[in-house]
Structure 1
Amino acid sequence: MNILVIGSGGREHALCFKMSKSKKASKIYCAPGNGGTRDLAQNVDIASNDIDGLLRFAIDKDIDLTIVGPEEPLVLGIVDKFKENNLRIFGPDKKASKLEASKEFSKKFMEKYDIKTAKYKSFTDYDEAIKGVKNFSYPLVIKADGLCLGKGVIICENEEDTIATLKDILKEKIFGDQGQKVIIEEFIYGVEASLICLVSGNEIIAMESAKDYKKILEGDKGLNTGGIGAYSPSELFTDKLKEKIEKAVLEKISIGLKEEKLEYNGIIFIGFMIEEDDIEVLEFNVRFGDPETEVLLPRLESDLIDIFEKTIDNKIKESDLIWTDQACVTVVTSSRGYPKKCEKGFSITGLKDLSNSLMVFHNGSKYENGELVTNGGRVLSITSLGEDINSARENIYKEIHKIKFDGMYYRKDIAIY
């Protein structure tokens, strides 16, 4: 089969890595790819949001299966476009992708189908939003309604923070059109957890659990990032909790998808806040998470291409997903300045000195004049399997210092704190 993976991050590198092990894969392309994907696939210089360019390429190269990594092409309707041209593609259509494209849409969906979530109110006018804040206590959460590359969620501790945030989004337009509307939401306490599920004919099958780390600084402090580390499985996901999530969340999502006539054959990634037996849904994503994908796929023993095909054909069963009992950890190395503006173009060395037991998924790298250099805020996801979380983590931290690039930073408490 000719496979096309769309995207340029660690998630897409992990997808290429797993599919390259399948006997079904004859040729893998990655558009646009990165410095790591080129070792497993042929990188193609087409942006992930260039829907027409990707369509022409898929037709020209007789692509048998396309996997969409990032959310933007899904929201732009790439699935609709490919299906119109009789191309097999894994992912929800444009209408279903609103579950991630609009936080207000997803909150209304949760309300309608009795999925527990934080109290909220949406605003498009700055002055009305300032008045609306009085109905919430601190801390509170402000979210830009649209896609903001994982940076549209701000926790405000006081009135000063709130006024500044609302001004930035609604007046200064720091998120452009994606911030024309904001959601003000109550802050809910607990432990964050995430679950990536397959959606096939609107039926939902949960994959293994994972926990990611969003804060840039150790001790879970500092600014939110797109994800700075992760591990799987999450110790929170006991059999009792899984059963409760199935009934309180997954079954209700499935009912909602059918009632709303949303066409969905792909991934739904659910963010939870869990406190003892209390479960609340923070958000939906309509694609694989990053860096969760980097810790899930190494644990998957099934043929990933086979899983994708069965999902598209509405033939997937829970028994098709076979997992290793081993644990997996990933630690993300980032550039100086991340998650704010950061520098790029620094030489990356030391990867050849790492133990063969480690997997390195490239988040932001490229080759420039024959040299591997940094090309993003998150640069590398250093990943290891182990008999348990501790051994997987130790495998990484005893080796990661061998990697060098100017301004390299990583948290030293991933899978500890």
Structure 2
Amino acid sequence: MKTKLWFCLAIFAAAVMTANAQSFTLTNIFGGNSDDISAEDFLTFSKEDGDYNTDGAMVSDRLQFDFSSDKLDGRLRLEYQAGALNGRLFGSNGNGDANNSLLRFRGFMRFRPVEYIGFAAGNDFFTKYAVEGSYLAAADDNAKDARMAESGVAVIGDVAGLRLIANFSGDAFADDPDVSDKIKLNFGFDYNVMDIATVGAAFKSVTNDAFSASAYVGLTAVENLILNAGFLYNATDDDFITAPAKTALSLSAGYEFADLGLGLFLDFASALSDEYIDGGDTLSYEDNGIPMLVRGRVAYNVTEKFSLNLDGSFRKMLGWDGIPDMVVYPYLTYSLDNFGDLKAGVRMNINDGDGLASFSIPLAWEYKIAAK
């Protein structure tokens, strides 16, 4: 019901925005790639009794509309996760059940009536209001812990390089069953120090027992260089740290050699102890170690149309004898000129126990239409 309501509002909003936008971009991504479409990779092969088996191809689609004008900007995104294409019903989960396909709508709009004040509303702000110094170069993303506003309604103030944000969120605003049923208050700030550095912080769920806080600093004075650091209290985003941590540090560095078409990027995140927070209580992993994650990325533009990339990550509970998780992901991107870009590779999940535990084949086609 909630998805249908958001979808109807989106259709109306898109019509209004298109009529008033000074510029807009329409992007469609089709295929199976967990990085680009928030779904499963096109083909996944898991190791069972020494053999690699697959449940079939997973096909999804993401349609995204971005717009901007002097007083209005935002994003609308529609995602459809289909099912196996191995002779079974399209739109199923591979078992012939079409009802298990996933249709998801997300988006937001921001209205700025005057130069320094804006108001935003939506069920997902994405990374629009993440602290700038929280950017992780190898992941090419911002951790959810650093989002000053995530959904619901927000007030944004921008003046003299300083951004201040207050946000009310909760499942009354978000079409996500994992979101707490409590209304959450989030706020934060981001400050650009004379184009030399950025300093910012995010305070989330300050009114309930899921409270978290994080502070970041980033260097911006050197062209093509990324250098960011952060301190987190109650870090919970498992995309960027192996397991929840009461306190953690994050470091990210990267450099683009423009003349060579080469980019090198590295992220590091580690808890400072074996403690984590659950329901407001401090607990301990005890003999299970301290969460740590390292991620790297190499990007090389062979030509203007063709690029090679290598991503890798290493997850480990330090001090624990358990098996670390490693992912190695080489992929290529090829431009089809006026027909978008193709992206394909092989994502390999490796551990000491099973060797190559599983591998998948991400495949995606991205097409973009822009107008000004």
Instruction: Name the TM-score, length of structure 2 as normaliser.
Output: 0.31
Higher-RCO chain (CA-CA 8 Å, sequence separation at least 6): 1
Question: Which structure's residues are more often strand, by fraction?
Answer: 2
Question: Which structure's residues are more often helix, by fraction?
Answer: 1
